Amino acid sequence: MRRVAERAGRTPAQVLLRWCLQQGIPVIPKSTHRERIAENARIFDFALSDADMAELGGLDHTRGTDRALERRWW
């Protein structure tokens, strides 16, 4: 996670939020700190490369991502 964040010049939280966005997984970040709320909103001006997406996807050993993408649950 840190390697991808460093390559992207972003925080790990931004990278995770962007990964979810690119995967089509709904996510609602929560924070009570203004700085973090603003930071979380700055995920629309960059995209993760296919290699970064694959690297992050490889971190999922629970297969939870596959289940989340199987069908809409909302």
Q: Give residue-wise pLDDT tens across range 43-57.
A: 999 999 999 999 998
Alpha carbon of 50 to those of 22, 23, 72: distances in Å?
Answer: 10, 11, 24
Residue 37 domain boundaries: 2-70
Alpha carbon of 30 to those of 23, 44, 54, 63, 66: distances in Å?
Answer: 19, 17, 26, 24, 24
Instruction: Give me the number of domains the chain comprises.
Output: 1
Q: Give residue-wise pLDDT tens across range 18-70.
A: 999 999 888 999 999 999 999 999 999 999 999 999 999 888 777 666 666 66
